[in-house]
Structure 1
Amino acid sequence: MPDDFLIAHNPEEGSTLPYLVRIPLGPNGIILKVRDTWPRTSKVYCHRATEWPRDAEIVEQLPVRSVSRRGAAIDLVIDRARENRSQFVLTRARGREMIFWQSRRTTKQARPNVALPTARAHGQSIEIVVDSGEKYAYTFGHQQATTVRRRLAAGDYAIVDDDTVIATVERKSIDDLSGGLLSGKLTYQLADLAACNRAAVVVESAYSAVFKREYVAGASLAEALAEAQVRFPMVPIVFCDNRKLAEEWTYRWLGAARHEWQLNQRTDVVVADLAGPAATAAEIREWARAAGLEVPTKGRIPAAIRRAYEDRNG
């Protein structure tokens, strides 16, 4: 086995880590499954592999200038002009090993020179519903929030009132965003989000990352992004510098949406007091069915149905 840094395709079918790397350290080297071929715009998640395939399909074979183990990190310097210095960081979380591949640029992005606030969103501690299919979900451990997991029809994180989704946020890495834009998958997701009361997409990268994709022209990706925003103007796509800031933005935005919802509910109460006793949800549902209108069997009465009920006598 050469003392070069090797990158190959992962032959394991269905793996979310499509590449293998071999770090020439130790008698047999260190073999990892990785998500990308280099940490260009964000840290790359890695997982240990059992062995290097005999018939490995090599993507790159790069001469190594130096490689050394320093505590919990492996420093690697490749013999090329650009993208030559990186580091593999070995740590543990929740009792299992976690490995991240980072460069100087991605390390700087992951540790922005800002102190995140700890104040409650609009003075309240909120409960956030996390979609049960969300992998590597935000924990909101830094924020004053609790989380519950269940299936969401749209988005990854939501605020709900009984069975009504007040607001929902779809989380995207820059890879997810670019892949969704080019495949058309994001269009369907935006359509589902647009049907919600409030919805947004948060991207765990700066907008500049759109122009740094390896196999996609930046102009094409920017055009597709602009078209998506024009087509679905009620679903903002917000770029944050990194995962931590995206998590903070999601928390603040959901808190603001909950606050607005509560204000609107209070307005409904004030109007009802001025007009006399308000009709109950059961009464409105009974009237709507008698009038041949479709009305949900539970949850919040749609605004259109409520207006039709209030205007029933002209």
Structure 2
Amino acid sequence: MPDDFLIARNPEEGSTLPYLVRIPIGPRGIVLKVRDTWPGATKVYCHRADEWPADPEIVETLPVKSVSKRGAAIDLVVDRARKSRSQFVITQARGREMIFWQSRQTAKQARPNVALPTARAHGSVLDIVVDTGERYAWNFGHQQANVEKRKLKVGDYGVFDGDELIASIERKSMGDLASSLLSGKLNYGLAEMSELFRAAVVVEAPYSQAFKQEHASGASLAEAVAEAQIRFPNVPIVFCDNRSLAQEWSYRWLGAALHEYGQRKGTDAVVATMAEGPEASPKQIREWATTQGLDVPERGRIPKAIRAAWEQRNG
């Protein structure tokens, strides 16, 4: 069992941080000066202390259930019914170290408190295919969707038009994004995804978490994300605040992609049935080629390359 979590009065006269805490982590623990004895609705500002006093005036002794370091944070759980969980967050601001002590209540205020909609995506119940290799998959239980598991050629979630995969989403945690991008593995997946009508990578974390990874440089990861977006601009990397919002965004996006594909497919079919204009005369093609700087003979047969360029001039 860890040592107790100790709260004592700061013997330093005139200090704006009137308390000391000793966090039982490491061989000797960590000592901080703090503004209050426990965080409530707001964060408690902390600062490094020089040492734990030889004869401290103890304010409170709290048995510890667990204490662990996770990235730039120390998670602390004390053994009591209320106000048992808290976290010390170490960060940088204006070039200097900042330490904040926050509770679950404080952290909750930083999360978006939103009620997810239940309306159908573009008025339809979506048929979503989940790749068989996807672990801890979204079940879209909050959304109106039919979910089927089968192997996808690319991505983790997809929608089909008949047998054709129209749109696909690759789901990532921030840690998975970091490892797959920095190793170069994800670039191969992005190349495959870019061949679809629509594709996206969805991260179950805010962008700010990219700079809080324990085993990856924030700058390196940010550079890798930027490079991937420049290299594959048609496969956006979307950062959502949490798992629920990532699932909601993906549901709406898949519905929109399938709707857009249907709209375009329908439009193409309609255009194909429309009457075509008159065939261009050789004179018209020669005049157009001249304006484009193409070398075309004044007489005789128009070269195939010139005629092909004319036919493709409008895409």
TM-score range, shorter chain: 0.5 to 0.7
Q: Does the CA contact (< 8 Å) of 1:67 and 1:77 recur in 2? A: no
- Residue number in structure 1 paired with 2:20: none
CA distance in 2, matches of 1:79, 1:270: 62
Q: How many percent identity over aligned positions?
A: 52
For 2:302, the equivalent position in structure 1 comes to: none
CA radius of gyration, larger in: 2
1:24 CA displacement: 5.7
Q: Which residue of 2 aligns with 1:51?
A: none
Does 2:212 match 1:203?
no
| CA deviation vs aligned residue, 1:92-137 (integer Å, no higher than 9, x gap) | xxxxxxxxxxx5565455x522222222111111111111111111
Task: Within 5 Å, give how 1:79-228 maps onto structure 2.
Answer: 107-108=108-109, 112-228=112-228
1:265 equivalent in structure 2: 265
Kept after mapping to 1: 8 A contact 2:89/2:101: yes
What amino acid sits opposite 1:75 in the alignment?
S
Between Structure 1 and Structure 2, how many residues are aligned?
Answer: 216
Distance 2:169 2:211 in 1: 24
Mapped to 2, the partners of 1:242 and 1:167 lie a distance apart of: 22
Superposition RMSD in Å: 3.6
Of 34, 57, 70, which aligns to 1:38? 70
Does the CA contact (< 8 Å) of 1:65 and 1:77 recur in 2?
yes
CA deviation digits over 1:50-86, x for unaligned, max 9?
A: xxxxxxxxxx9x9x7832356xxx9346899857667
Cα distance change, pair 265–221 in 1 and its aligned pair in 2 (3 A): same
Aligned counterpart, 1:75: 84
- The Cα of 1:272 is off from its aligned counterpart by 3.5
Is the 2:72–2:214 Cα contact (8 Å) retained in structure 1? no
Which residue does the alignment assign to 1:241? 241
1:176 positional shift = 0.9
Structure 2 portions without partners, runs of 5+: 5-23, 27-62, 91-98, 277-310
Give TM-score, length-normalised by structure 1. 0.59
Residue pair 1:66, 1:78 contacting (<8 A) in 2 also:
no
Report Cα offsets for 1:163-217 as digits up to 9, x if no partner.
1001001111111111112211111221121122210011111111112223332
So what's the TM-score if we normalise by structure 2?
0.58
Cα drift, residue 236 of structure 1: 0.5
Distance change in 2, residues 1:114/1:215 (3 Å): same
Q: Is the 8 A contact 1:65 1:79 kept in 2?
A: no
Cα distance change of structure 1 residues 153 and 69 upon mapping to structure 2, 3 Å threshold: farther
Q: In the aligned structure 1, how far is the partner of 2:155 from the partner of 2:188?
A: 12
Matched AA of 1:159: V
Counterpart of 1:66, as a letter, is V
